[in-house]
Structure 1
């Protein structure tokens, strides 16, 4: 029969073993928790993929990893103001007026978008617009598809424009807005003309190509000079009559086929 001292030694050994087993159990539980958290994190974060069947949102910002804006999808009220290098223009072009998508380049400057609107007013007249555009670097749109309908007066087509390379669009716009606010005078007229035609025979902005249909339901291809003056037109009117016109700088037809 064991004496009390032997029983005490045996009990102490059992307690020591239990403490070691408890420590091992804690390590095991902690390790298992870390593994579970890591798997969860990798599954829902590192993969970068989360699936939704449906999302309702007033605005979604698409950004780079550093937070820089690349695209905004928004309703009318949440649509952004125009940005250049990530900052509003001076004077600003406010937002809250163009539902759709807005694109931004690598420097955070707006460079195109897709907008669409339409509806009836209190008199029952309707309007509808669809517009997909791409902007010249640091300038305004130079390639765009537009559908515009003012209660049946409809114009639809592909447009290609020229924009000057300098000054920058927002600087040009600020100077033009400033000139518009001047009192009517020959000085104001001269300044506005200089802004719109900085080089003789070359406009600051000019529509060079139009392929589409005008408000008279004439299908056309129009090529213009650097002043935006149509110089060559290929037309098929609403009655199906086809014509090819050559025009001078004043808009006068100089040669036409068929004669």
Structure 2
């Protein structure tokens, strides 16, 4: 046998052996991955964002840091403003539309002053938040509380699109008037009306406000920073019509 032919045969045998071995390894690896359980356990992971999705790919929950945080999503479509501003957790409904979340911030600036906030909210269907807990602190000027609100039955995607269209108009009287009309109630319902607030204000008073459908306070219960308690009833103009304790009792 010619020496060159022998070398070629040896090469072909070696090539066949290596190729067969690689195919076996790849096949075994594929089989092993396919046989692995769907549930995995990790002692610790570092991650910048986690998307929890349905089998069809619709978002159900996003957990992220600030730079990778998601902007508003309506039925799977971004709208309103870009992401990158809401570190925390955002929830989505069955249709892939945002319907609440938990966000938080907090930092001290170069001037030594700090700001901090935490909010957990739940949205009206195809609208914005109507039930939420909030804490906001501007260097010690802090407010915290629980809010129940009403919102007009108008689709938030259409509402934002209408506003964005108005904002494209040149600055001036026409745009100002268009924004005023945009902010008006829809079918008698304001775009937003706070109905119940229970919390603590920046004056260090504990308070409960109950408001009408227009968002105007009608009952106000307050315990101020000095421990004085009062209960006021108001008309739709904000005038106090009855108070407890009354003026005579307060002067004693």
TM-score if structure 2 supplies the norm length?
0.80
1:246 alignment partner in structure 2: 233
C-alpha distance in 2 between matches for 1:84 and 1:40:
36
CA contact (8 A) 2:152 2:186 kept: no
1:115 alignment partner in structure 2: 103
C-alpha distance in 2 between matches for 1:139 and 1:230:
23
| Residues 200 and 111 (structure 1), Cα distance of their counterparts in 2 relative to 1, 3 Å cut | closer
C-alpha distance in 2 between matches for 1:248 and 1:183:
37
Larger Rg: 1
Displacement of 1:253 after TM fit? 1.2
How well do the aligned residues superpose, as a CA RMSD in angstroms? 2.3
Stretches of structure 2 that go unaligned for 5 or more consecutive residues are 1-23, 247-252
CA contact (8 A) 1:196 1:205 kept: no
Displacement of 1:118 after TM fit? 0.4
CA contact (8 A) 1:201 1:226 kept: no
C-alpha distance in 2 between matches for 1:225 and 1:188:
30
The answer to whether structure 1 residue 209 and structure 2 residue 199 are counterparts is: no
The answer to whether structure 1 residue 184 and structure 2 residue 169 are counterparts is: no
The C-alpha deviation readout for 1:140-160, integer Å capped at 9, x for no partner, is 000010000011111100011
CA contact (8 A) 1:131 1:146 kept: yes
| Residues 249 and 117 (structure 1), Cα distance of their counterparts in 2 relative to 1, 3 Å cut | same
Displacement of 1:81 after TM fit? 1.5
The C-alpha deviation readout for 1:117-176, integer Å capped at 9, x for no partner, is 00111211100000000100100000010000011111100011111112x112212323
CA contact (8 A) 1:132 1:146 kept: yes
The structure 1 residue matched to 2:94, chosen from 93, 103, 106, is: 106
The C-alpha deviation readout for 1:10-45, integer Å capped at 9, x for no partner, is xxxxxxxxxxxxxxxxxxxx9xx99x9878744x23
Question: Could you say what secondary structure the match of 1:175 adopts?
Answer: helix
2:219 alignment partner in structure 1: 232
| Residues 253 and 57 (structure 1), Cα distance of their counterparts in 2 relative to 1, 3 Å cut | same
CA contact (8 A) 1:195 1:204 kept: no
1:59 alignment partner in structure 2: 49
Number of residue pairs matched? 220
